[in-house]
Structure 1
Amino acid sequence: MPRPPKTFFTADTHFGHANIIRYSKRPFETVAEMDATLVSNWNATIGPDDDVWHLGDVAHGTQRAEAILARLNGRKHLIWGNHDSGTVRTWPGWASSQAYAELKLDGRRVVLFHYPIAEWNGFWHDSLHFYGHVHDKFTPTSLSCDVGVDVWDYRPVEFSDIVQTISGLTPPARPAARG
């Protein structure tokens, strides 16, 4: 019996981007090795009925990366990153494509944006914020987390795994209440 569909998150795959190996100290010798590992890890993690929210910076260059997108399992949703051109944003392989999204998962609001934000919709009511862009350079909190491949062993991460990982962390700094 197949398992029920799950919701996964990822960011900053940078398919085809040779310099990201050096910039982010990725453990790959070549861009071909990086791309092959990212595709293999994705497809070993994601089932055909799973939803995957990619929080930006899918690729560097478009033609080769569009072919890679077609090989990835799941229903793929894009939150635009700074490296995602208009062409990338309109590829037919996306189930949805937008700058920002809010989901409701397990009764919690989840705010999705490529960039980390200091305060988000529902911040005062324990909503979560997932982002990319920073390549493991920001400290996660009990409510916010970088979902990029550089943080999660070069593969998408399931919602419940993120929540379990961040639940014991320090809450985000909250500004003083306004009176």
Structure 2
Amino acid sequence: MAVYFTADTHFGHAAARALYRRPFASVAEMDEAMVARWNEAVGPEDEVWHLGDFVVRRGAAEAAAVLLTRLNGRKRLVIGNNDPPAVAALPGWAAPAVHYAEAEVDGTGVVLCHYAFRTWRNAGRGWVNLHGHSHGRLRPPLPRQADVGVDAQDFRPVALAEIFRARRGGRRGPA
């Protein structure tokens, strides 16, 4: 089982195409491309932490319920500013939705929140902060911190090693 991270999919959000300069001709094309990219990266037994803003549109809970069944993996939600209680409470999530989480992934402690932190628990002990919300616009990122939102990660979930490998030019381990 692999562990992946993503955020800010904004499924169904027409304004996301212009606001975040997404290269899709329509909302339907955007949504289908992100479903396809998710399922290419994630297997049925993998775990995906979605760090907020899953779906944004009228009837969000109904749309999210349908989307959750189409997406591979065991999905967990860290609530974002656009996740209403009905979406957070959907039975398709593998665990109750939370606003903040800590986990160990591949021997590295991770602090997970929709929002980026200036500092976080165990930052001085090698833990990393993964977040969304900024749509790839926080420059430069702090060391050992990464935006896992789709706008910063080719519209798909990414593994921890991949996130930091790109930043270090191929070397192993978080930078």
Which structure has the bigger radius of gyration? 1
Match of 1:175 in 2: none
1:143 to partner: Cα distance: 0.2
Tell me whether 154-163 or 15-24 shows the greater mean CA deviation. 154-163
5+ residue gaps, structure 1: 173-179
- 4+ residue segments displaced more than 6 Å: none
Match of 2:31 in 1: 35
RMSD of equivalent CA atoms: 1.6
1:160 to partner: Cα distance: 1.3
Q: Map 1:7-156; keep pairs closer than 5 Å.
A: 7-61=3-57, 62=60, 63-96=62-95, 97-138=97-138, 139-156=140-157
CA deviations 1:23-67 (Å, max 9, x no partner) are: 000001110000000001001110000000000000013122321
**Normalising by the residue count of structure 1, what TM-score does the alignment of the two structures yield?**
0.88
What is the rounded CA distance, in whole Å, between the counterparts of 2:119 and 2:160 in structure 1? 20
5+ residue gaps, structure 2: none
What is the rounded CA distance, in whole Å, between the counterparts of 1:67 and 1:142 in structure 2? 37
What is the rounded CA distance, in whole Å, between the counterparts of 1:75 and 1:104 in structure 2? 17
Instruction: Find the residue that maps to 1:65 and give its secondary structure.
Output: helix
Judge conservation of contact 1:142–1:167 (CA < 8 Å) in 2. Answer: no
Instruction: Find the residue that maps to 1:145 and give its secondary structure.
Output: strand
**Normalising by the residue count of structure 2, what TM-score does the alignment of the two structures yield?**
0.90
Q: Number of paired residues?
A: 166
CA deviations 1:66-118 (Å, max 9, x no partner) are: 21111100000000000000000001110121111001122221000000010
